[in-house]
Structures are given as C-alpha cells and as structure tokens.
Structure 1
Amino acid sequence: MRVRAAVVGLGWAGRDLWLRLLREHKDFEVVAGVDPDPDSRAAAVATGLRAHPTVDALDPRTVDIAVVAVPNHLHAEVAAALLRRGISVFLEKPVCLTTAEADALAAAEGNGAVLLAGSAAAHRGDIRELSGLLPRLGRIRHADLSWVRARGVPQPGGWFTQRSRAGGGALVDLGWHLLDVLAFLLGPAPVAQVIGSISDDFVSSRAWSATWREDQLSDAPTGDVEDTARGFLVREDGISVSLRASWASHEALDGSVITIEGSDGTARLHCTFGFSPNRAPESVLTLTQDGSTQRIPLAAEPIGIEYGRQLDGLARLLADPGRRGQAVAQARSTVRLIESFYASARAAPPVDHASEFTAHKEVRIA
C-alpha cells in the first residue's frame, strides 16, 4: 500500500521539486496540496491535484504524511499544527529557527505522529564514497566544509533575505546542509567552542542573485541577513571544524568542498551541492597519504538525485516508533550551534576595512 502524501506549500520547492518527486516515486500517492495563495492552488488543480488553503483541511484518515515546503519562519508552526492533528511530517532544513520552536515540535510530536527531517546532501553518492574512506584516515582531527556560490543570493527583498522570516542568511540556508553532512560523516557531537563571523557585501544587489530559482520578486530594496558566514568550531570529541557558507563570491563556479584530515591521511571531495547550473564539471574525490594523492573513481549522477533518495525508505521510517524524537533532538543541537555562531559574530567589534587598509598602506609607504 502506498503512502498517502500531501504537499504543504506550492512555491518553487513544493511545486517543482516535491510534487514531482513524490509523483515519480513508487512508494507514494499524492492526495492533496495546501497553499494560501489562490493562484498557486489553481495551478495545482490544473495538474489534477486537490488543493486546500489551510492544513485544517487535511485529515489523518486520508493523509499519512505531509511534506512541508513553506518559508522558514513557518516551518515549526505548520509542522507542529500537522503533528497535533496526528499527521506525520517530512520537513527539510531548517527544521526550526529557535530552541523554543524545537520544544514546541517535541510537544506536538507526542501526539502519535512522527517528524522526519530531510538532509539532501548526505544522500549524494560522492558523500557516501567520502564516508567510506574515513576508516583509512586514522584518528580524525579536523574537518573543513564549505559551500561557496559565485552568484546565488536568493532574490533580494524576498523572504530568504529577511531575518524575521528566514532566521538568518547563508548560514541557515547553506550552512545547515554542511552541518548535516558533518554529523553524517563524523557522527553527532556537542560543540564546545564556536567562533563565527558574517558579512553582507552582496546580499542587497540583484547582480549577485540566483538565476535558476523562480523566487517572487519584492519591492524591498535590501536584505538584512548575511551572504557569507565563516566560522571555526571545536567539538567535545576534540575534532576541530572550519565552516564557510557563501551565497556569492568572486569565484567563477559554485563549489562545495569537504576535507577530512586524520592521523593517517586526508580525504577531500570537491563537488557542487544543490541545483545551480554554474557548477564544477564533475565531482572529484581524493585520498592523500604519505605524500601521495590518488583519485578515487566516482559514478556520475544526475543533478538533484539526492533529493529523491530522501524518499527511499521513508515509508519504513514512518512505521518505526524509534524515530520519534530523533529529528527534533538533532534540530535542537543544530539550531543551538547556529545561535552560538550568530552570538559570536555579533560580539565581534565592527571593523572599517577600508580605513584599515588605507592606514596600513600609509604605514608601508612611510
């Protein structure tokens, strides 16, 4: 018997990603869509989907799981409402924006339904191959994770660039994926120390915006989130972590780089996460030991295949009572780390880099 699924939120992600993937997957039957916008509902109805304006129309007797694809600030609210109705939820990052929202989700999940969290990057074949190299690295000492776009700021003025609706900028959007990959590769561990910095050199200019998305344009001229986050973490297991998430940069291509250093070697993956067409031509995985670097063969994969793979086995997870509480616990850990990262960035004294550079030049010239 197939899992009866509803898609809540019929914007770009819900319409072009999740509806398509669910309809293509043998384990699912899409039975409903939800969106407050009448045009979005009409477009869904035109494809043969029953569409509703609110989640109140969804019934646990006819819906097994709801895939939630709404703006970040509504994630926890919508997911909790569904869980309280007895409908299980699949929710991609960020699961929540505050620890208080994590607590609310935990309380709602106690009603019998289960929350499952999506983490697309960990389902990539190249990430799985990287994971397979870790036993050859000895004791893991350091991880370096980055996702840097050349041009990829979500449309300026849209909800992605409003802190009140997104919870943050590139750190929440891209950094959450990197933190999920870190937990997948090295296992979850509390973070003992966090130092973070953020910058916003590109976020308010349409010249640096993403071209592959269809975000709704806004009249708002600027965003109030960071386009770049750089940080250094130390986990309680002693592993140090460098982290960088950038919506825009002066690079030519969008790239994601994961490097794991151990006592016996270093493994490095260079690829491109996500759907951007401005990507590295192929994934490259290398293993370096004793001064020698070898390239590890990787199978080519279609762009975005990792999103569909999240649906594989989802029916089994729904039936596993042991899954209850796991997604909320991991989300609480991630959002605490992000809160600490932003607190560190806010505590740093502002620097006038132009003045600093001028002064430095003057000293050198003198």
Structure 2
Amino acid sequence: MRVAVVGLGWAGRSIWLPRLREHPRFAVTAVVDPDPAARTAVATDLAPAGQETDAAGGASGSAELAVFADVDELAAAGPARPDLAVVAVPNNRHADIAERLLAAGIPVFLEKPVCLSSAEADRLAAAEQAGDATLLAGSAARYRADVSRLYEVAASLGAIRHVDLAWVRARGIPDAGGWFTRREQSGGGALVDLGWHLLDTLTPLLGAVRFREVIGTTSDDFVNDGAWAAAWRHGDQPADGQPAPEQPPRVGGDVEDTARGFLVTEDGTSVALRASWASHEARDLTAITVEGTGGTVSLRCTFGFGPNRQDRSLLTLTRTGQTSPVTLPDEPIGAEYRRQLDELPAMLADPASRGRAIAEVRPTIAAIERFYACARASRQAPDLVPAGR
C-alpha cells in the first residue's frame, strides 16, 4: 500500500515514518510538509545510500519518494498518488488537511484529535461522502495489550456503572512555547491531548455514547514554568521508545495543563476524568477503573512515550472483597502504533469503515466542547455561595 506521510514534525518523523518503513504492508512513496528544512532532512534520511537530494528536498533522480510542500500536489502525483495519507500535522490543521485529501479521493488516517469542533466533524463527514474515500482515526490506546485485556475482563462485569479515567504526568508539558501550548493552534491543552486518548477508550466499553451531563474545570499552574516541560519532546524520539537527549525547554502558553471533570451518559453511567501534563507525582500514571455490577477491574500503566514511567502495567480484578492480579503480556513501548498499522489495510477494505470514525468522534468532541464551556462559565460565575453554607 502506497502511503504519504503528511506532517514531518515529531509524530510524523518519530512515530509513523519508522513504523511505516519497516512494515511489510506499506511503502512510503511521498512526504508532505510546508517547511523546506523538514522536507530536506526527511528526504535525505530516506534516500538510498550515496544518493544526493535536490534543492526541493527530493532524492535526485529517484522515483521512489516524492516530496511536496502541500497536500493538493498529492492528487496529481501520478505514480506517487497514495493509497493512504497518514496525517500528523498541528491540531488546527487536522480537519482542513483531511478534508482536502478526502475530497480528492485519498483515504486518510488522521492522528488525534480528529477535529476541534462539531462543525469540523460535519465537514469531514461531508468530505468522506464527496470524495468517496474513507477516514480512519488514530486510536492508539485501544491497541495496547493491557487495555485490550481490560476490555476482555470488563465484558464479564455485567452492567457498567462507573468508569474512572486518569492520565497524570509528573513533568510532561509538550513543546512548551510551541504550537502544542497555543490554543489557536492546538485547540486546547491536556484535555485535547491526553483527555482525547482517555475518552477514546470508552467506545469499546460503553459504545458510541452521548453524555447527558458534562461538568469540568481546568487549571494552568505549570504550563508557563519551563521546569515542568517534557524535555523528551524537544528532540526526536527513537522508534524503540527510548528518550532523546534533553534540550532546554521553551516557555509559554495559553492552554490548561490540567483538566478535571465528571460526565454522565444518557443511560446513567458516570465517568470521572483527569488529564494532567504536570503534577507533583513521582511517575507518569495512566489509570483506568471500570466498576460493574459483577466486580471492578483496574489498570495502572503509562500511556505514550514519556521516560518517567510506571515499572510495568498492573491489571487487577476485584469481586466480593477479593482482589486478584490479571496476567498481562509484556510488550515494547509504542507497540500499539505498529498494531494499528496491522489493521489499516483491512479497515480500508471494509465498506463498514466509511463514516465510523466520525460517528465515534462526535460524542468525544461534543463532550470536550461542553467541558471547556463549563470551565469558562465557572471562572466567570458571580456571587457563588461559599462551600459549607
């Protein structure tokens, strides 16, 4: 399958390019980025040994890799026109880039967040239909072995009454001062970044639920303090998940570093959510607890690539006062991304995939919109009654 990687920032270069290149089902035939330096660097890395790159960043005399500055060039790329575009650009470009590719008839695998508003979700749905092309959404957490095992155990718990979701980093503000911490480009902070992954884990548990109630609050105690930045995000992260050498962090941002909320589905299931880029914890922790009528299953692990990890994933099952461990397989950091790639060809070939990503995204983005609206309203509310009265 011919693949174009759109966006040559950290995710494109460090997550997707290495895994696509070593996967037997894919051939990277094109890369796209508006930055000439990024194009040249990647084209040089991918060029055969001894081959020079031209001024445009492409391999001189090579027909294997096409290098473009804009996605509109992909539609007329001839032999380099891809069977799939993997899009890993800044958040505010996700919907625009994916919409243009889909309208041109090019299937898209889109990194989270798929969109930043319900209106963008509508545009993507229309583009899928207009271009007769399928949109697939990145769902890394669902492809983790420990999360998959949690789903298996949760299926034996009867009716699910409550889910507790948390991803709390010790120090992990990504690219502080860069686009990640600027609301105009990112769409939000820890809620959009980490919270999207957490909310995405709900679909296999509860289905494509809609929320009757969404209450949330946000804070920004750490985002403008460079001491809390994720230094490992300022260099390339090797494909094996080992941290890159630390570099001086940049400072600045107008997004939240922490979001805390409580949501209730239409059928009465409650969901507690916390997403934090920084905290006073010693280690980065991702925790998912599912309470059902027949027991409780709890997972403690670390999502993502951060080096300050839990020693290992722990899954436990509690029934009638007895807690027992559930065996989990060992897997390398980042294995979930390779597992997603394994599934993509079959997903693209399945007609039922058309429209599925947007159907699952709509409750997530609607909940995030309402979460932020509640957080803004709580900061502006006058004449609040003091607690205890």
Task: Give the TM-score category using the shorter length.
Answer: over 0.9
| C-alpha deviation, 1:21, in angstroms | 0.8
Matched residue, 2:289: 259
Aligned residue pairs total 352
Partner SS, residue 341 of structure 2: coil
1:139-170 deviation per Cα after TM superposition (whole angstroms, max 9, x unaligned): 21100000000000012211010111000000
Matched residue, 2:270: 240
Say whether 1:80 aligns with 2:99.
yes
Superposed counterparts of 1:1-366, under 5 Å: 3-46=1-44, 47-48=46-47, 49-59=65-75, 62-110=81-129, 111-214=131-234, 221-349=251-379
Contact persistence 1:156–1:218 (CA under 8 A): no
Q: CA RMSD in A?
A: 2.0
Segments of 5+ residues of structure 1 without an aligned counterpart are 361-366
Cα distance in 2 for residues equivalent to 1:71 and 1:4: 23
Segments of 5+ residues of structure 2 without an aligned counterpart are 48-64, 237-246
| C-alpha deviation, 1:136, in angstroms | 2.8
Aligned structure 1 segments of 4 or more residues deviating by more than 4 angstroms: 215-221
Contact persistence 1:154–1:215 (CA under 8 A): no
Cα distance in 1 for residues equivalent to 2:35 and 2:28: 19
Larger deviation: 242-251 or 38-47? 38-47
Contact persistence 2:226–2:250 (CA under 8 A): no
Paired AA for residue 63 in structure 1: P
Paired AA for residue 44 in structure 1: V
Contact persistence 1:155–1:215 (CA under 8 A): no
Paired AA for residue 268 in structure 1: S
Paired AA for residue 130 in structure 1: L
Cα distance in 1 for residues equivalent to 2:319 and 2:346: 40
CA 215–328 in structure 1, closer or farther in 2 if over 3 Å, else same: farther
CA 135–322 in structure 1, closer or farther in 2 if over 3 Å, else same: closer
Question: How much identity, in percent, do the aligned residues show?
Answer: 59
Contact persistence 1:269–1:284 (CA under 8 A): yes
Contact persistence 1:149–1:254 (CA under 8 A): yes
Partner SS, residue 73 of structure 1: helix
Cα distance in 2 for residues equivalent to 1:350 and 1:211: 34
| C-alpha deviation, 1:350, in angstroms | 6.0
CA 240–201 in structure 1, closer or farther in 2 if over 3 Å, else same: same
CA 345–215 in structure 1, closer or farther in 2 if over 3 Å, else same: farther
| C-alpha deviation, 1:184, in angstroms | 2.1
1:96-115 deviation per Cα after TM superposition (whole angstroms, max 9, x unaligned): 10111111111111111111
CA 131–344 in structure 1, closer or farther in 2 if over 3 Å, else same: same
| C-alpha deviation, 1:34, in angstroms | 0.3
| C-alpha deviation, 1:220, in angstroms | 8.0
Paired AA for residue 204 in structure 1: N
CA 73–101 in structure 1, closer or farther in 2 if over 3 Å, else same: same
| C-alpha deviation, 1:214, in angstroms | 2.2
CA 258–219 in structure 1, closer or farther in 2 if over 3 Å, else same: closer
CA 219–118 in structure 1, closer or farther in 2 if over 3 Å, else same: closer
CA 135–85 in structure 1, closer or farther in 2 if over 3 Å, else same: closer
Cα distance in 2 for residues equivalent to 1:97 and 1:185: 23
Contact persistence 1:34–1:41 (CA under 8 A): yes
Partner SS, residue 231 of structure 2: coil
Cα distance in 2 for residues equivalent to 1:323 and 1:131: 21
